[in-house]
Amino acid sequence: MPPAEPLPARDTPGVHQDAAAGPSILICRPNTRLGNTLLLTPLVEEIEATLPNARVDVLSGCPAAHEVFQAFSGVCRVYELPLRGVRHPLRYLLTLLRVRRIQYDLILDPSPNSWTSRFLTRWLTGRVKVGFITPRKRRGVDVSIPFKEAPRHMGAYPVYLLRRAVLDLDVEAARVDDAKLGIRLTEAERTFGKEQLARLAGEGHSGPVVVVATHATGAKRFALEWWRHMIQGLERRLPGARIIEIRPPGGTASLAELPGYASRHVRQVAAVIEAASCFVCADSGLMHLGAATDTLTVGLFKVTLPALYAPRRGSSCAVTARDDHPDAVSERVARLLS
């Protein structure tokens, strides 16, 4: 599968689009994390459903943002800030100046806590600027929505903001929490994922395939021995299953005894995950990537709140896990697959 191509630029940067083309919207979320970028996909889907002619641009700091929004027809351009802006000040500034040349009809600051997103929202050019009111963010936008009434899940925050500030829904209607992450894999990408998974599982294998990813940051991470105990429990309960590891882009194995898949392209990783029977990982960007596919994703939580980050697509779920209970997790996953 070839690398994802960047999204096309606007036809005429800096020139306001005519009314027939719909409003021009900028989503200002200069965060670097894959998970936070994927959590914007419910907002883009809501814009496409309620403002079908809108032309959406995204300002992001995530290196994978182009791939995340590649299949969303309403997204015209993703502006990617350099990952370490301090090391690339000229590129950072030039990217922001390109965005500032455009007079947007609407700029959305969808984060309740990011000071950077509010600062840039204030500095960029837009007729109407919308954001949340929180103790950290009280000024700088034209329409402010109290955050205290928003739904709890982070994927629902931006949708609630749009519904209250732009679509003018009342609190009860805006709080309907139907946010689902999505990456919109193509049929060619799904075929690619099935082929890769079949290669890793072995020719002729017809049982379930469970994909695992051990990586997570800080206290969210589980020890490798924990993963080995959990996998042993899965193999006892699902004797016909194959277990495959999703590895970091460089391909370094955490569980060298397992077959593994690695890619620098998140859409290829998502395609392999979607081809599996189940994906098990700790709360991380990869968990949100799994939650954006149609496969059963089991997110393991021990320090963060499932209500805020749980995978919610289809039968995906959050499992509160402890360091000393890997067998309980394997039992839960086996029940979900039986």
Q: What is the rounded distance in angstroms from the CA atom of residue 312 to the CA atom of residue 299? A: 10
* Inside any domain, residue 205: yes
* Tokens standing for residue 278: 């189940």
- Minimal CA–CA distance to 283: which of 316, 253, 325? 316
With H, G, I as helix, E, B as strand and everything else as coil, classify residue 90.
Answer: helix
- Kindly state whether residues 235 and 134 are assigned to the same domain: no
* Inside any domain, residue 108: yes
- Residue 102 near residue 26, CB atoms below 8 Å: yes
* Inside any domain, residue 91: yes
Instruction: Kindly state the greatest CA–CA separation across the chain.
Output: 63
- Kindly state whether residues 209 and 159 are assigned to the same domain: no
Residue that the structure tokens 């697509």 belong to: 313
Supply the range of the domain harboring residue 94: 19-174
- Kindly state whether residues 250 and 314 are assigned to the same domain: yes
Which of 174, 195, 213 terminates a domain? The answer is 174
pTM: 0.91
Which of 174, 209, 232 terminates a domain? The answer is 174
> In whole angstroms, how far apart are CA 89 and each of 27, 93, 228?
22, 6, 44
- Kindly state whether residues 167 and 216 are assigned to the same domain: no
Q: Which helix (H) or strand (E) holds 211?
A: strand 209-213
- Kindly state whether residues 168 and 198 are assigned to the same domain: no
- Kindly state whether residues 227 and 170 are assigned to the same domain: no
Q: How would residue 37 be classed by pLDDT, with cut points 50, 70 and 90?
A: very high
- Kindly state whether residues 201 and 153 are assigned to the same domain: no
* pLDDT at residue 85 greater than cutoff 90: no
- Kindly state whether residues 213 and 162 are assigned to the same domain: no
Q: Could you read off the pLDDT of 289-318 as tens digits, one per residue?
A: 999 999 999 999 999 999 999 998 888 999
* Inside any domain, residue 3: no
Tell me, what CATH number does 66's domain have?
Answer: 3.40.50.2000
- Minimal CA–CA distance to 4: which of 73, 86, 67, 89? 67
DSSP string, 212-260: EE----GGG---HHHHHHHHHHHHHH-TT-EEEEE--TT---SSTTS-E
- Kindly state whether residues 165 and 192 are assigned to the same domain: no
- Cβ count within 10 A of residue 73: 10
* Inside any domain, residue 7: no
- Cβ count within 10 A of residue 49: 9
Q: How would residue 20 be classed by pLDDT, with cut points 50, 70 and 90?
A: low
- Kindly state whether residues 162 and 206 are assigned to the same domain: no
- Residue 146 near residue 160, CB atoms below 8 Å: no
Q: What is the pLDDT of residue 139?
A: 85
- Kindly state whether residues 191 and 284 are assigned to the same domain: yes
Q: What is the rounded distance in angstroms from the CA atom of residue 182 to the CA atom of residue 111? A: 19
Q: What backbone torsions phi and psi does residue 110 show, to the nearest 5 degrees?
A: -85, -5
> In whole angstroms, how far apart are CA 80 and each of 59, 114, 253?
6, 17, 29
- Residue 290 near residue 281, CB atoms below 8 Å: yes
* Inside any domain, residue 125: yes
Domain total in the chain: 2
With H, G, I as helix, E, B as strand and everything else as coil, classify residue 278.
Answer: strand
- Cβ count within 10 A of residue 294: 15
Q: What is the rounded distance in angstroms from the CA atom of residue 128 to the CA atom of residue 170? A: 20
- Minimal CA–CA distance to 17: which of 121, 102, 133, 131? 102
* Inside any domain, residue 10: no
Q: How would residue 3 be classed by pLDDT, with cut points 50, 70 and 90?
A: very low
Q: Could you read off the pLDDT of 177-199 as tens digits, one per residue?
A: 999 999 999 999 999 999 999 99
- Residue 141 near residue 131, CB atoms below 8 Å: yes
Q: Could you read off the pLDDT of 89-143 as tens digits, one per residue?
A: 999 999 999 999 999 999 999 999 999 999 999 999 999 999 999 988 888 899 9
* Inside any domain, residue 182: no
- Kindly state whether residues 304 and 255 are assigned to the same domain: yes
Helices 326-337 and 224-237 cross at an angle (nearest 10°) of: 40
